[in-house]
Amino acid sequence: MARTVTVSLNELTDIVDASLRKIGVPEGDVVVVREVLLYAELRGNNQGLVKIPARGVLPRADARPPSFERRMPCVMHIDAHGSSGIATLKRAALEAVALASVHGIGLVAVRDRAGSTGAIGYYAELIAAQGLVAILVGGSPKAVAPAGAVEPMLGTNPLAIGVPAATGPIVLDMATSSMAWYGLIQAQSRGEPIPPGIAFDADGRFTTNPAEALKGAITAFAGHKGAGLALMIEILTGPLIGNSVAGEGGPPSYGEIAIALDPRAFGARTEFEARTAAFLARVKAARRAAGCEEILLPGEGGNRRSAAARVANRIDLDAVLYAQLVELARG
């Protein structure tokens, strides 16, 4: 069987919508879930369609509509009550934009959401496209070992920062783990090993078997630096806003913080954009290392890949994943 299949985006959209409905995604969430998952898939990000057969985008069985509380003029808390992580975080990003447009800053905290939020760069781009600076941090199930440990105490805890630019938002989107949880799921589905030094098995030994890694713990990126960043995000998205952390007992709850900053609150917006554009141009023109053909800004490679797929109206999709989606859609 070929490793990939070429699928038109029109066909893929229909398959994704049908498969989301079949696994139980509420009708009102189907479009936004598909939009966020395809954002990642078209960029080559492992936060994409692999989440559908893994049932990683479902609300809890006891989910209730989210509730909203203004704690301060520019701060809002959203209690998702087990609702879709994707739909809730998009609402949080839009609320942060609305608050920032009035107060110069908007901070929205999400607690007790269910299922994955997908690539949080999507929400950073959404905010930055409004001319605002975006900062998002996310909590997640415990899968990462602190530096020096071999058991999972931290989430993969992503960070995204987006800034507006003349050519479109510049977005950094990264997990604080050496590999995202769904990277392990993807490797397991493909029957591929993971790189050495990425994860431990349940006995605390390094493994290249993704199935064994899923029973153990992932390492943080860049050793103690990544682990420290993951730890701080765990505190921000856990105790600070009312979600759980490892060892507390009771049902787990996860959430995010979305922050939008209006450049006008710090000076002239046009000056910010002009200085940013000039700096980005200098970065792109920096003297390159041997073998480097081009210096890419955060997200630039993914932007090009996504744009090319949309122009061609097709994507080369993992064959195993495609078969899984088709089976779900027809089931």
Q: Are 321 and 329 in contact (CB under 8 A)?
A: no
Mean per-residue pLDDT, 192-198 = 96
DSSP 238-289: TTTTT---TTS-SS--EEEEEEEE-GGGTS-HHHHHHHHHHHHHHHHTSPPP
190 pLDDT exceeds 90?
Answer: no
Q: What is the pLDDT of residue 167?
A: 85
Q: pLDDT-derived band of residue 86, with 50, 70 and 90 as boundaries? A: very high
145 three-state secondary structure? coil
- b/e per residue, 122-152, with b = 16+ CB within 10 A? bbbbbbbebbbbbbbbbbbebbbbbeeebeb
Q: Are 191 and 185 in contact (CB under 8 A)?
A: no
105 pLDDT exceeds 60?
Answer: yes
pTM recorded for the entire structure: 0.96
pLDDT digits (tens, 9 = 90+) for 225-266: 999 999 999 999 999 999 999 999 888 999 999 999 999 999
- Report the alpha-carbon distance of residue 186 to residue 320 in Å, rounded: 10
Q: At what angle do helices 30-42 and 85-103 cross, to 10 degrees?
A: 90
Q: pLDDT-derived band of residue 289, with 50, 70 and 90 as boundaries? A: very high
More confident residue, 251 or 128: 128
Q: What is the pLDDT of residue 269?
A: 75
166 pLDDT exceeds 90?
Answer: no
% of the chain surpassing 70 pLDDT: 99
* Burial class of 85 by CB neighbour count within 10 A (0 to 12, 13 to 18, 19+): buried
The amino acid present at 233, given as its one-letter code, is I
Q: Minimal CA–CA distance to 234: which of 155, 127, 319, 317? A: 155
- Report the alpha-carbon distance of residue 117 to residue 29 in Å, rounded: 12
> CB neighbours of 293 closer than 8 A, spacing ≥ 6?
none
Q: Are 81 and 67 in contact (CB under 8 A)?
A: yes
Q: Minimal CA–CA distance to 44: which of 330, 322, 301, 289? A: 301
Q: pLDDT-derived band of residue 128, with 50, 70 and 90 as boundaries? A: very high
Using the 8-state DSSP alphabet, how is residue 90 labeled? Answer: H
1 pLDDT exceeds 70?
Answer: no
